[in-house]
Structure 1
Amino acid sequence: MLPAYSYLPKVIAHRGSSGQAPENTLASLHLAGQQGIKWVEIDVMLSADGIPVIFHDDYLARTSNGEGLIHKTPLQDLQKLDAGSWKDEKYAEQRIPTLHEAIEVIAQYKMGLNLELKPCEGLEEETTSASIDILKRFWPKDLPLLLSSFNYFSLTSARALWPEIQLGYNVSAIPHAWQSRLETLDCAGLHIHQSFFNKELVTEIKAAGYKVLAFTINNESLALDLYAQGLDAVFSDFPLQIQKAISQHNPLKSLAAS
C-alpha cells in the first residue's frame, strides 16, 4: 500500500473536472485524465442493493433526472438515469457510475484517488465495508489511494477494516482539539474549507506531521496565496486552471509537475 500523502500533487480534481463536465461521472474523470491531472476526488454512496456508486447527494434530483433517495434506489434503476444533461445536453448519456467503473477509468490515466466516504445516515459501516471490498479487489497497488470523510464512524470503520490505508479527516472549520481528533481517528491529513484557512494553525498542524488540504478552490490567485502560506494541496472544480497558474508562477514553477 503506497503512502498516499507522500505522492500528493498540488491540485486534485474535485469530483473529476467538474467545472466543465458533470460531477462524479466517467466524463469528468476522463476529462481530468486528458488534462493531465494527477489525482481525482470522488464521492461514494450505496445503492439500495448495496453497490458502491459515485454520487454526492442523498437525493437524486440535483445531478440526475431521478427522484428520491439514492440508498432507496437499486443499481439497475440508478443506471437508467441521465446524470449529465443538468450540466449540458451533450452529456445526456452519462450515467451514475459504480465505484468499480470509476476505478477502471482512473487507472487508465494512472491517477491517484481520494475517495470520500459519504454514507447516508445509518449506513456508515456498510458503505465503508462495501467500498473497501471493491478497492481491495480492483484498485491498482502501484497508484496512490486515500480515503477521507466528514463522518467519524466511516473513518473509524475504515481504520478497523484496512489498517494500512491512509485516511484524511474532512472538516469545515479546524477543530479546537484538532490533534487529539486526528490521533483518535489515526488520520494523516486534515481537509478544510477554504474560508477557514488559518496560517498560524496550518503551520502548527504541519509541524505536527500532518498534511493540510483545502476545498473547493477555483480561483488561481487564492490557490497561489494559500500555497505560499503552507497549504499542501487544493481540491478544484477547474484543476487545469490551477495547474496552469502553478506552472506560470515563477516561485512555484518547480511544483508544476508535482
Structure 2
Amino acid sequence: MNSIKLKAHAKINLGLDVVRRREDGYHEVRMIMQTIGLYDKLTINRTNNNSIVINTNLHYLPTDENNLVYKAVSLIQREYHIEQGVYINLEKKIPVAAGMAGGSTDAATALYGMSRLFDLNLKKPELMKLGLRLGADVPYCIMRGTALSEGIGEILTPLPSFPACQVLIVKPGLSVSTKYVYENLKLDETTKHPDINGILTCIRTRDLYGAIGLFGNVLENVTIKEYPVIGEIKDKMTEWGAIGALMSGSGPTVFGLFDDIKKAEKAFYQFKVSELGKQVFLTDLYQPYY
C-alpha cells in the first residue's frame, strides 16, 4: 500500500460537566461524546525520503510541527523506526477552533492511517495510548461513537449508540480559546451542573427526548456571557424546530438535534441566509467503522 484515504469525523458533546480543577492546572471533566457525520479528508502517501509534507486547503493552518497531524506522523516514525516519509493532503471541512475536536480527530486519523500504511497493525488500545501523548481528545477520536469521557478526557467508557436524529451545526464567525474558557470558569456552590448520570440512563434506555431534556454544558456559563450570539443561535435553533440545542465543547459551535428531516432542512436554509452562522452544516450521528 502506497497511499490511503481516510475520513476524520468531528464530535459534539451531548453533555459536558467540569468536576473540579486539579492542582496541576488541568480540569477533571465528565462528558458524553458523540461522533457525527461531518468530516475532514486525509490522504496519506508514502514518499522515498524521510520528510513530512502537509498540504491543506486552509492557508492559515500550520503545516509544520505545530500541526497535530505532523506530530502524529512524527510520533509513529520515532516509535516504530520508520525511515520513509509521507506527503499528506488534509482537506478541512470541520470548523477550526470550534469545540468539535477538528485537530484531534485529524491526528487520530493520521495515527490510524500510518499504522495501516506501514503495516504496523496497531490495535485500538495501542493507538489510543499513543494518541494521549498528543492531546486529551485524541483517544476518544480513535474510539469514536458514543462514549463517557472522564478524568481530563482520557478515561473512556463506550456507550450504546445514541438514538438516530439529524444534526444541524452552526458556527458563528468567531473563534474561542479553550484555555480562556477554562481559566474563567468559576466552580462554586451556585454552579449549575448538567445531569450526566441522567443522560447516561436515557441513552441506555434509548430515551431520545429524555436525554435531550437533560442536555447541558457548564462551559456555556463562560462562553455565552462573552459571546451572546451563541445564545441567540441556540434560541433560533429551538424556534426553528430543534428538539434540543447545545454549545459543543468550549464553543462557539452550536448543534441542534432534529427528529424531523424536513424541519432540519428548513432550519438549515434559514441559518444559511441569516447573519448568525458563518458555517452551517446538516449531518447526522455517526458510528465508527474501526
Normalising TM by the smaller chain, what interval?
A: under 0.3
Q: In proportion to residue count, which structure has more helix?
A: 1
Report the TM-score, using the length of structure 1 for normalisation.
0.27
Structure of greater Rg: 2
Is the strand fraction higher in 1 or 2? 2
